[in-house]
Structure 1
Amino acid sequence: MWRLIQSNRLQSRFSVGLRYYAKSTKKVSIPATNNLKKLNFVIPNYISVNKLSNLLNCRSEQLVEDLTGLGFANVTQNYILSREYVELILQEYNYELPASRRLLNAQTVYDELKSPINPRLLNKRPPVVTIMGHVDHGKTTIIDHLRKSSVVSQEHGGITQHIGAFQIVTPLSKRKITFLDTPGHAAFLKMRERGANITDIIVLVVSIEDSIMPQTIEAIKHAKNSGNETIIAITKIDKIKQPKERERALERITADLLVHDIQLEQVGGDVQVVPLSARSGENMDLLEESIILLSDVMDIRAEDSIKIAAEGWVLESQVKKSVGNVATVLLKKGCLQKGNILVCGNTYCKVRNLLDGAGRPVTKAMPSDAVEVLGWREVPEAGDQVVQAKNEAQAKKYNAKRVALLQVEEQAVNVERLNLERGIKKEEEEAQDKDVNSEANSDSKLGIGPKKVNFIVKADVSGSAEAIKESIAALGNGEVVCNVISSSVGFPAESDLKMAQITDSKVLCFNLGSMPSEVINNRKGVDVRQYNVIYKLIEDVIQILTDNLEPVYETKHVAQIDVREIFEFTLKKKVIKIAGCRVESGKISRNSAVQILRGDQVVFDGKLATLKQGKNDSLEVSKGSECGITFENGFEGYEAGDKIMVYERQRVPRYL
């Protein structure tokens, strides 16, 4: 569904035009004839009003007037129209348009490669189950118990920071289940959204100690939006030994779930609740039984024949030193084998090898299998759909078509921005002619905005790179903002360091292990920072942004000196005035910043030229001592009775 929503957004511009047309009440002066005119030119993707008027052989002023009548705002002769708008206008001008073509965009271009559904090939497949919930509520421990491994001990900071895909054979029913272990930290919002939308069943983990927490609420929202079936797993029940206390805790969680509109079985709903302990193994067999039972009720099926095009989703992607570009693909349809050609995003792949979750080579992958696919020309993006092509030529063709559509979509954004800027400029010119808001207009032209602090993100897998980018991109305020120049997989390359040098960016490396010394101590002087836990990375970025806030200082008086008498001293026929002073409080040093006050008036603000006690220079004079002082720049406008205030400018801590 979320892919369909993204696709529909790209059609919104044409829909806006239709709404404008529907609302228009002004009569448009179009040719009054029932005969369709033949179109004698190719409709471009984008064209200005002035050039379109030339092609239509009409006055540009008349076309501007007609467009205004159709509902277009701030139309000028330089206003740029998209192909969809031009087709709408040509219909109004009674032109015969080419046969309607299917509206393609970068998200739907690969749909032409997909095979139609064949009910005869539908067979049962293992359910895909996503584990979701709050940080440290025991998600990975559940999978750890099921597959008898030690994932938890290998994780930095005790949290899962990738989507992990594992297929297990349940010990009781000997049935396969594919588990996706999604991270619970708030930074991995996008990864959890992806997990909720490519799965069949969601196991929502709730700790018996903490009940509903922020990421639990978020997971509930994703589960509802995805429309997937849900099972509630209440974990860590071994921590409460007393039966009555455990029962009260379970009742509290049940009430909290009902508040969030989770229809539990005990109140007449269809959502199963399984209290369990993954550490002790208590009720883990009940969780397995619940998943199998629910999958049987759902009757989950998929086409698993080699006769149809394989389809799936990229869970993770990365660059491995020994094998190159690798992507973890969850297969949803078809049969994937070595030698198949796959397209995904802006890249394609001739499958060189398939590896299972344990890193062992496999000959083929069936629906619900999660396998590592080797042989990608470029690293695909996590979350992109994978579709099988007939051959490499077809893959290249559709890749090129997708790149072209992406360029058109990018042009659309630029065109809309250009039209908006021209509309604003037109309004400003009209306002200036009327002498209205001239001051605001001049301010708007200054283009003053927040300071951008640049970062380049490098991570071990694309899901982490995406999640980090999403997490830090929103940091900042009206004065300073975070600007992610790029985010990608692998060690920082020479091009990354050069880009960081040009853009004055800091390179944030996440989970990359030990990096070469030539990267850390690079000759370009680029600041390269390494992290294993995302909390630390986000905290560091916040600190960097805070350090880039405009400094605010406050003045603190640390000493007071009274000018008692003025002495004159002749040196080389030049008379020098010296202030004879007494330190009343604090201490004054040779490099002190001072103000001379005469009443409430500041007559001098600067530093000392000399500080003497008797005939000797002094570095510092303390309270109760007398001294002679002269001031920088030859200032001698002081008088007996003035007060000298020694001050320090202290930076006031600021926060985002």
Structure 2
Amino acid sequence: MYRSIFFKRLHLRQIKNECLVQLLESKNRIVNDIHYKVRCISISAVYNKKRKSPEEKAVENLGRRVIRYSKGGTEVVGIWRNMTVLDVANVLKKDVEHVFKTLEFADKNSDTVYTRDTVIHNPQIVREIVKISGCRFKLVPRPDEVVEEKENKDAVPAPPAPPEALRPRPPVVCVMGHVDHGKTTLLDALRNTSVVDQEFGGITQHIGAFEVRLRSGETVTFLDTPGHAAFSAMRARGAGATDVVVLVVAADDGVMEQTIESVRMAREADVPILVAINKIDKPGVDIQRTLRSLAQHGVVCEALGGDVQAVQVSALKKLHLDTLVEALTLQAQLMELKADPGGYVEGVVLEAQLDPRVGKQATVLVQRGTLRKGCILVAGNGWAKVRMLQSADGRPVLEAPPSSPVSVLGWRELPAAGDTVLEVDSEKRANEVMKWRHSQSMKEKQEEDSEAISEATHRAQYREALAHKRALGRMRLRPDGPRQKLIKEDTHPTLRVIVKGDVDGSVEAILDILETYDEHDRVRLDLVHYGVGHVTPNDLEIAQAFNAVVYAFNVECPPTLSVEAKKNNIPIKLHNVIYRLVDDVKEEISARIPKRQEEELIGEANVLQQFQVTEGRKKVPVAGCRCVRGSLSRAALYRVLRGADVVFQGKLASMKHLKEEVNTIKRDMECGLRFDDPAFEVQPGDTVICYKLVDASDQTGWDPGF
């Protein structure tokens, strides 16, 4: 027994000496060895259930001090999840044996047999290894993942299908033209409906996409685009997604502004044009004048020797519609329109809206593949797992082949009108695409912000301000007075608006109009918030916080919210015609323009002679005058003209008729006027103008272009 105690003490003494030597040689090696010996001593003490000897306590305290010192290391290494033993050794710049030795303490309760390629799934073990090794850690991405993040993870269209996979598809026809030229009425006549009666103000407010089955049995997809000047973006989308453009021109009006714009968009999209000359039933129309006007803008019809078909129709009387349908069918046959009904779905978003009954939905025109329930779609910053497909008349459909417009339900995030629709394999892939697109948009925003910050004008202003600051000195920059007086409120008149619309295209058109406002020096126009759908409580909270006006276009405001808005004095303007909404915005801007004061002439008098009147012990000059126009008021303002020069401008001190003080002098009456400047003297022949200042309201000169 005494022999074992002797050898144990001798062994502990040797351990202590070795620890001191190793501490001088290498901090990391001491950490590992002492940690190991301390654990061994602790395990031995627990196993033997004996109290620790003074030598054991000394070694353990020394080990704790060294380990505590090691946790405060200055070297920082990067770690990541699921590191292997070799990865840990590489980041620590140690050999693998060092990691094996530290694992005996960091993972003492596990039976795992570690090798060079063993993955350490528990991140806490890796952190303990780093701490024991005398380093600090930071979380970094896996080195091989950094390269992968730079790769493009966006969804892209599939390569063109082989010719043997192509099948004939119906043509997509876009009806374009000037407002009130009969585009929607023509489509009503083709499909025997009355959509035009449902359009507010008689104009189309958004893209209407639907299929029409002709008498010949063929199916044609029609897109009815708005002709109003505000919806140029919608017309551009319609021209870019179609095969044939039907240009509707009224025979009585001829070529108008939106007609020319539609021709330009069709040319840019490289889409053939078919002209429909409408309203031929009206008396006194000149068809040849319309054809010549079209020829002046590059649309030469067959009647004038060109290659563009022109059909004379009357949408209201349903005249010559068969001829128009035949021309469309012939044009489609010449183009040999084909698409691949198999493979991944590709399309374009025509409209997007938030329906309070069914939620987020978007009208998608399928261009390739067959859209079915359960497909995973990505479009812009939104993605969807299709849970329902509806046709233009609201009927549920099972599938949508190429050239079919359908309403898609199941969007997690609502896309924007004009976004390209692509099908992906799974929801995981859709989330990956959304993450990639979000990161790219953030990078673009950062680049734009950095460019704005680094502009030379800002740098010049900063240098000028810095030079001015240095010239004044630090003490002179210290302002006087309380701090509250230094806070300057922004008193510039501002109109803040919130825009809510029925579809994304309508909101887009309204925002495009608001961007044309250019009188910010008089009244600022700030867009606080915009969105698709009905007015929500969140909109009212934002409007109350920013003192904004809510403009709801083709959407409703629930009665409960209307009562709450009225209670909190939150203005909500409901409109269903876009030019009326713009007129309302102009009225709100005009109401916020600061009023200016104008001079309103009250009367005029001629100076006959100057008198000296004694008041007290002083003599004051009094102008003897005769009123020759209007009347003179005692409380009004006066201006004295001597020839073309203004010699006095101010108020009266006294107005008398004969010897009585009066307040008013009528026309052809004589009076005595004493001005408030006692040193001013009039001369015979001077003209006295009596006037007052009145507030005058200005109107905004903003012209949105229609």
Corresponding position: 1:217 with 2:264: no
In structure 2, the residue matched to 1:386 is 421
Q: Distance in 1 between matches of 2:559 and 2:664?
A: 50
In structure 1, the residue matched to 2:601 is 557
TM, length-normalised to structure 2: 0.65
Aligned AA (1:622): K
Aligned AA (1:525): N
- Pick closer, same or farther for the CA change 1:170–1:615 going to 2, 3 Å: farther
Q: CA deviation at 1:191?
A: 0.5
Partner of residue 492 from structure 1, selected from 535, 547, 559: 535
Q: Distance in 2 between matches of 1:130 and 1:103?
A: 38
Aligned pairs (5 A) from 1:414-433:
414-421=449-456, 425=460
Q: Distance in 1 between matches of 2:428 and 2:613?
A: 96
Partner of residue 337 from structure 2, selected from 300, 303, 316: 300
In structure 2, the residue matched to 1:330 is 365
Aligned pairs (5 A) from 1:443-458:
453-458=495-500
In structure 2, the residue matched to 1:462 is 504
In structure 1, the residue matched to 2:275 is 232
Q: CA deviation at 1:253?
A: 2.4
Please say if residues 657 and 670 of structure 2, whose CA atoms lie closer than 8 Å, have aligned partners that are also in contact.
yes
Corresponding position: 1:366 with 2:388: no
In structure 1, the residue matched to 2:324 is 287
The DSSP-based 3-state class of the residue aligned with 1:328 is strand
Please say if residues 232 and 271 of structure 1, whose CA atoms lie closer than 8 Å, have aligned partners that are also in contact.
yes
Aligned AA (1:256): S
Please say if residues 583 and 621 of structure 1, whose CA atoms lie closer than 8 Å, have aligned partners that are also in contact.
no
Corresponding position: 1:250 with 2:281: no
Partner of residue 204 from structure 1, selected from 247, 252, 275: 247
In structure 1, the residue matched to 2:439 is 404
In structure 2, the residue matched to 1:62 is none
Q: Distance in 2 between matches of 1:609 and 1:515?
A: 62
Q: Distance in 1 between matches of 2:269 and 2:418?
A: 15
Aligned pairs (5 A) from 1:41-56:
none
In structure 1, the residue matched to 2:514 is 472
TM, length-normalised to structure 1: 0.70
Deviates more, 1:217-226 or 1:271-280: 271-280
Q: CA deviation at 1:417?
A: 1.5
Q: CA deviation at 1:514?
A: 5.9
Q: Distance in 2 between matches of 1:397 and 1:127?
A: 35
Deviations 1:128-150 (A, max 9, x none): 10000011111011100111111
Deviates more, 1:162-171 or 1:333-342: 333-342
Deviates more, 1:402-411 or 1:614-623: 614-623
In structure 2, the residue matched to 1:273 is 310
- Pick closer, same or farther for the CA change 1:155–1:514 going to 2, 3 Å: farther
Q: Distance in 2 between matches of 1:378 and 1:566?
A: 87
Q: CA deviation at 1:109?
A: 3.0
The DSSP-based 3-state class of the residue aligned with 2:222 is strand
Please say if residues 492 and 519 of structure 1, whose CA atoms lie closer than 8 Å, have aligned partners that are also in contact.
no
Aligned pairs (5 A) from 1:7-406:
109-111=154-156, 114=158, 117-171=161-215, 173-240=216-283, 249-266=286-303, 269-305=306-342, 308-406=343-441
Q: Distance in 1 between matches of 2:317 and 2:245?
A: 23
Deviations 1:282-317 (A, max 9, x none): 210111111122112211112222xx2212222112
In structure 2, the residue matched to 1:531 is 575
- Pick closer, same or farther for the CA change 1:223–1:452 going to 2, 3 Å: farther
In structure 2, the residue matched to 1:44 is none
- Pick closer, same or farther for the CA change 1:637–1:507 going to 2, 3 Å: farther
The DSSP-based 3-state class of the residue aligned with 2:287 is helix
Q: Distance in 1 between matches of 2:546 and 2:510?
A: 19
The DSSP-based 3-state class of the residue aligned with 1:237 is coil
Q: Distance in 1 between matches of 2:446 and 2:561?
A: 39
The DSSP-based 3-state class of the residue aligned with 1:238 is coil
Deviations 1:594-635 (A, max 9, x none): 4467884555535x788788999976553355778898xx87
Q: CA deviation at 1:155?
A: 1.4
Deviates more, 1:180-189 or 1:397-406: 397-406
Aligned AA (1:302): A
TM-align CA RMSD: 3.9
Residues matched between the structures, number: 525
Q: Distance in 2 between matches of 1:362 and 1:287?
A: 29
Deviates more, 1:348-357 or 1:553-562: 553-562
Q: CA deviation at 1:320?
A: 1.6
- Pick closer, same or farther for the CA change 1:617–1:393 going to 2, 3 Å: farther
- Pick closer, same or farther for the CA change 1:289–1:646 going to 2, 3 Å: same
Please say if residues 328 and 373 of structure 1, whose CA atoms lie closer than 8 Å, have aligned partners that are also in contact.
yes
- Pick closer, same or farther for the CA change 1:250–1:497 going to 2, 3 Å: same
Aligned AA (1:534): I
Q: CA deviation at 1:219?
A: 0.5
Aligned AA (1:474): T
Q: Distance in 1 between matches of 2:261 and 2:155?
A: 31
- Pick closer, same or farther for the CA change 1:621–1:227 going to 2, 3 Å: same
Aligned pairs (5 A) from 1:547-586:
547=591, 553-560=597-604, 584=627, 585-586=629-630
Deviations 1:34-89 (A, max 9, x none): xxxxxxx9xxxxxxxxxxxxxxxxxxxxxxxxxxxxxxxxxxxxxxxxxxxxxxxx
Q: CA deviation at 1:504?
A: 4.7
- Pick closer, same or farther for the CA change 1:488–1:587 going to 2, 3 Å: same
Q: CA deviation at 1:263?
A: 4.2
Q: CA deviation at 1:500?
A: 3.8
Deviations 1:315-337 (A, max 9, x none): 11222221122211111122222
Please say if residues 330 and 368 of structure 1, whose CA atoms lie closer than 8 Å, have aligned partners that are also in contact.
yes
Q: Distance in 2 between matches of 1:581 and 1:324?
A: 82
Consecutive unaligned residues of structure 2, counting only runs of 5 or more, are 1-77, 79-145, 469-491, 702-706
Q: Distance in 1 between matches of 2:432 and 2:624?
A: 88
Partner of residue 593 from structure 1, selected from 637, 660, 663: 637
- Pick closer, same or farther for the CA change 1:501–1:373 going to 2, 3 Å: same
Q: CA deviation at 1:537?
A: 2.2
Aligned AA (1:649): L
Q: Distance in 1 between matches of 2:253 and 2:642?
A: 65
Q: Distance in 2 between matches of 1:612 and 1:490?
A: 70
Aligned AA (2:191): R
- Pick closer, same or farther for the CA change 1:389–1:100 going to 2, 3 Å: closer
Q: Distance in 2 between matches of 1:567 and 1:460?
A: 78
Aligned AA (1:347): G
- Pick closer, same or farther for the CA change 1:254–1:601 going to 2, 3 Å: closer
Please say if residues 279 and 314 of structure 2, whose CA atoms lie closer than 8 Å, have aligned partners that are also in contact.
yes
Aligned pairs (5 A) from 1:489-528:
489-513=532-556, 516=559, 518-519=561-562, 521-528=565-572
Deviations 1:531-575 (A, max 9, x none): 2222222233344445555655543432246697676778xxx99
Please say if residues 479 and 549 of structure 1, whose CA atoms lie closer than 8 Å, have aligned partners that are also in contact.
no
In structure 2, the residue matched to 1:18 is none
- Pick closer, same or farther for the CA change 1:159–1:103 going to 2, 3 Å: farther
- Pick closer, same or farther for the CA change 1:136–1:598 going to 2, 3 Å: closer
Aligned AA (1:383): G
Q: CA deviation at 1:386?
A: 1.8
Q: Distance in 1 between matches of 2:586 and 2:656?
A: 47
Q: Percent identity?
A: 36
Aligned AA (2:297): H
